[in-house]
Amino acid sequence: MTVDGFVKLSSQPIDKCSQWSLLTNNSQQSEHPELIMPKTYPLTIYCIFLLFLSGCSYVDPRQIDIDIPSGTPEVKKTALKEALQKLGKMAEIYGVETKVMLDKISDNTGTSVHTKAELPYDVTEITASALNSIGSNIAFLPYRPDIMANLKSLNYQNFENKFIPSAIVTGGITEFDRGLETREASGDFGYDTNELGDDLPLGLEYSQGKKTSVARITIDYNLIDIPTMSGISGIQTTNTMLIHKGIKEKEIGLTLLGPTFGVKGEVKKVEGRHAALRLLIQASMVQLIGKYLDLPYWRLLPGAPSDPVVESYVSRGWHYQMNQTMQIEKIQELLILHGYEKVSETGEIDQATQKAIEKFSKETGCSKKIDFDLYTKLYYTVPLDDETLQRRYALVIKKQQERIKAAQEEQARLQAAQQEQARLQAAQQEQVQQQSQNVPQQHEGTQ
C-alpha cells in the first residue's frame, strides 16, 4: 500500500547491498513486506549514525590500532646442537684432539646476488659457531690477519703463545635448486535455488585449494692439511637438504535473498632457508671433524649409517701402524673405557685382560683373541657417558704420573751417571798426580 510523502524500505535487493527506495504517489504496491517511515527519517538516522561513529573509538578510522605480541631473546637451539657438543665429549673419551682454522665460506651459486639475498652470501660465522660449539679437545682458530695487524699497530706483538692449526676448513654453498617439484590440488562445491522466487535466490559455495613446492640446498666442505697444504684424502662432506613450501586456502560464500556474504582464509608456510643452512652446516661439521679424527660420529646422528672412510682409516691404523705390543695396549685401553677396571695397560695378555676379553666376547659375540674383530667391537661401542669420561681422565692422569716417574728415574740415572763419571775423573786425576810424584823419586834413587 502506497502513501503520499513516505519512504518505503523494501526487502527486495537492488544490488549486493540493501538500499533505501523512494516511492512516489504513482508507485505500485510491493508484494513483499514493507517498512513505511517519513521522508525525513533517513536523514535523521544517517546523522545519528555519523555521530555514533565519531564518538566510538573502536570504529573510528582515525584511531585505528593493533596489538602485537612482544618477543624476548631466546637461546638458539637446533636438532643438531647436542650432536656437536657430544662430538667434543666423544673426542675427549677417545683421547684425540686437533686445532682447526676456518677459511671464508660463501655462496658459490650466485643466488644470493641475483635473488636479493634469498640465500645468505657469507655463512662463515654460522660455520664458526658450529665448530666452536664442539669445544673440548677441538680448538677453533679464526683466520683473522686483520686483527693481528691492528694489534701490532697498537704495539702488541706478543704472539708467541698462539696455536698453530693442523688443518683448514674450506667450502661453500654449491647448489640451490628452486621448484624441484610443485603440486596443486583443489576442490569446489556449490548449490543455489530459487524456491522462494526469482528475486529471492539462495545459494552456498565452498572451495579449497592446496599448493606445495620443494627446493634443494647443497653445501660442500673440504679439509686442507697445513704441513703439506693439500687436501686430506676422503675427508670431505657433501650434504643436501630439501626445503618445503606450502599454501592452503579455503573460501565459503552464502547468498541470502540477494546479497552474497563470503569468508576466505589462507595460510602459507615456508621452511626457513637460513635455518636449513644452519642444520646443514652443523651436520657437515659433525661429519668432517668426526672423519678427520677417526671417530664413529654416526652414533650422534639419528639414522645415519656408518662411514666407510672412518672404517678404512681404523683398519689401516690397526694393521699397518701398530705392532703386537701396541695392539694389546690398545685393547686394554678400550677394555678400561668399557668399565673393566681390573685391566691395566701392560702390553701383555695377563689374567685380568684375558678374563675381561672373555666376558666382553660373551656379551657381544665377538672374537676372544686379540684381533681386528675384537678391536672394532670395542672401538665402535665405547660408552659416551660421564663415567667413561672419568675413566679417560684417570688413564690420562696415570700416564702423566708414569711419565713423570719415568722422567724422574731418567734424571736420577743421569745424575748417577754424572756422579760416577765425576768419580772416575777424580780417580784418574789422583792417579796421574801420584805418578807424577813418583817420577822425581825414581830419578834421585838412580843418581
**pLDDT score at 8:** 39
**160 residue type, one letter:** E
Q: What is the pLDDT of residues 335-380, one digit of tens each?
A: 999 999 898 888 889 999 999 999 999 988 888 889 999 999 999 9
CA-CA distance, 295 to 378, in Å (whole number)?
A: 13
Span of 197-206, 256-265, 319-328, 414-423 with lowest mean pLDDT: 256-265
Mean pLDDT for 34-38 is 45
Q: What kind and span of H or E run contains 100? A: strand 98-102
Each residue's pLDDT tens digit, 96-146: 999 999 989 888 888 766 666 677 888 899 999 999 999 888 988 887 777
Using one digit for the tens of pLDDT, what is the confidence trace for 325-344?
A: 999 999 999 999 999 989 88
Which cell is 331 given?
Answer: 685393547
**Among the listed ranges 92-96, 255-259, 386-390, 436-440, which one has the minimum average pLDDT value?**
255-259
Q: Which of 257, 144, 127, 128 is nearest to 200 (CA)?
A: 257
Cell of 9: 524500505
Q: Is the pLDDT of residue 2 over 90?
A: no
Q: How confident is the model at residue 24 (pLDDT cuts 50, 70, 90)?
A: very low
How much of the chain exceeds pLDDT 70, in percent?
A: 74
Q: Report pLDDT for 245.
A: 78
Amino acid at 237: T
CA distance 73 to 77: 12
The correct answer on CATH 3.40.50.10610 for the domain covering 81-183+210-242+269-300 is yes
Domain map of the chain by residue range? 6-63, 81-183+210-242+269-300, 322-384, 386-447
Question: And the C-alpha cell for 417?
Answer: 751417571
* Low-confidence winner among 5-14, 263-272, 310-319 (lowest mean pLDDT): 5-14
pLDDT tier at 60, thresholds 50, 70, 90: low
Q: Residue type for 336, please?
A: I
* Nearest Cα to Cα of residue 210 among 265, 283, 156: 265
Terminal C-alpha separation, the chain:
181
Model pTM? 0.71
Q: How confident is the model at residue 25 (pLDDT cuts 50, 70, 90)?
A: very low
Which residues have CB under 8 Å from 288's CB, separation 6+? 169, 221, 223, 235, 236, 237
> What are the backbone dihedrals phi and psi of residue 419, each rounded to the nearest 5 degrees, phi first?
-65, -40
**Pick from 176, 172, 78, 76: which is nearest to 118 by CA?**
176
Residue 410: HSE in the Cβ half-sphere, 13 Å Cα cutoff: 6
pLDDT at position 21: 38
Is the separation of the CB atoms in 7 and 22 below 8 Å? yes
Structure confidence at residue 144 (pLDDT): 74
Which value, in Å, is the radius of gyration of the alpha carbons in the chain?
Answer: 43
In single-letter form, the type of residue at position 433 comes to Q
Instruction: Tell me if 222 sits within 8 A of 284, measured CB to CB.
Output: no
